[in-house]
Amino acid sequence: MGKNFLHGPIPDSIKSLKLLENLDLHQNILSGNIPTSIGNLTLSELYLNTNNFEGIIPSNIGYCTKLHYFNVSGNKLSGDIPNQTFGKIEGLIDLDLSKNSLIGLIPSGFGNMKHLSILYLHCNNFSGEIPKELGACTTLTMLGLANNSLQGSIPSFLTTLRSLQFLDLSNNQFSGTIPHELENLTLLSTFDLSFNHLYGEVPIGGVFSNTTTISLIGNKDLCGGIPQLKLPACPSLRPTKHKRSYESD
């Protein structure tokens, strides 16, 4: 029922559809809260993106343990996400919560989703650091965290995500240096670090060897990297030798 002009709330009576596996209501004018009764269904696919849903993501979505695809992008959802909401849905492949007003920390429970390939959290108000538990999601190919209030350093555990092809950390508050280990992500073809507070030497291998795959603008204290980036040279780390003068007795 996607791409129509359906409006109003999802009726609570949807809980009667016990055998429903795929519910696609994307790109309508639906509003109200996401009904908690959806947690009673045996869904494998749920698409509610591009509507006007408000309120929180109900935590009993976690009862949909067979869910593989969940998309609520482009709504007006708010609040934080408790760990239990998605922590028990180990079979999730595609999770898109982008373009809402979600707050709080990125749940560490996301690390339980061992089959996750796509995780889009961009354009929200998430804060804190990227949880180290995400390093367990080794099947991730697309990770979008742009336009949040994330902080801390770029974690080196991202190098365990060897399947990553797309990584967008732009428009956050990340600081520190860029881990040179990220050169080892050989499948990474798009890496956006623009508009953060990064400093220090830019690596030159892997994704950093091509200006069409890396974006670093808005980090005024970076240096080095390949010549095409036109960054200033990094200051020498070698200490300056001073000659000592000795007075004769």
Report the CATH number at residue 167.
Answer: 3.80.10.10
Per-residue pLDDT tens digits for 71-84: 999 999 999 999 88
- pTM of the predicted model as reported, rounded to 2 decimal places: 0.92
Edge-to-edge, what's the strand order for the sheet holding 29-33?
A: 7-8, 29-33, 52-55, 76-79, 101-105, 125-128, 149-152, 173-176, 197-202, 221-224
Number of domains into which the chain is organized? 1
Residue 1 falls inside a structural domain: no
pLDDT for 161 equals 96
Mean pLDDT over residues 14-43, rounded? 94
Residue 145 falls inside a structural domain: yes
Q: What does the H/E/C string look like for 137-206?
A: CCCCCEEECCCCEEEECCCHHHHHCCCCCEEECCCCEEEECCCHHHHHCCCCCEEECCCCEEEEEECCCH
Which pair of tokens denotes residue 148? 């949040």
pLDDT over 50 at 246, yes or no: no
Residue 249 falls inside a structural domain: no
- CB burial of residue 244 (10 Å; 0-12, 13-18, 19+): exposed
Query: How many CB atoms within 10 Å of residue 99?
Result: 20
**pLDDT-derived band of residue 29, with 50, 70 and 90 as boundaries?**
very high
Mean pLDDT over residues 146-160, rounded? 96
Residue 200 falls inside a structural domain: yes
How far is CA 101 from its chain centroid? 14
Mean pLDDT over residues 144-170, rounded? 97
Per-residue pLDDT tens digits for 97-137: 999 999 999 999 999 999 999 999 999 999 999 999 999 99
> What is the average pLDDT value for the chain, to the nearest integer?
93
pLDDT for 247 equals 43
Domain that holds residue 139: 7-229
Backbone phi, then psi, for 83, in 5-degree steps? -55, -35
Higher pLDDT, 200 or 237: 200
Rounded distance, CA 33 to CA 124, Å?
Answer: 18
Rounded distance, CA 14 to CA 38, Å?
Answer: 7
Per-residue pLDDT tens digits for 166-198: 999 999 999 999 999 999 999 999 999 999 999
Hey, what amino acid is at 235?
P
CB 127 within 8 A of CB 150: yes
pLDDT for 76 equals 98
Mean pLDDT over residues 14-33, rounded? 95
Residue 209 falls inside a structural domain: yes
Residue 135 falls inside a structural domain: yes
pLDDT for 38 equals 92
Which pair of tokens denotes residue 207? 């994704």
pLDDT for 87 equals 86
Per-residue pLDDT tens digits for 212-243: 999 999 999 999 999 999 999 999 755 545 44
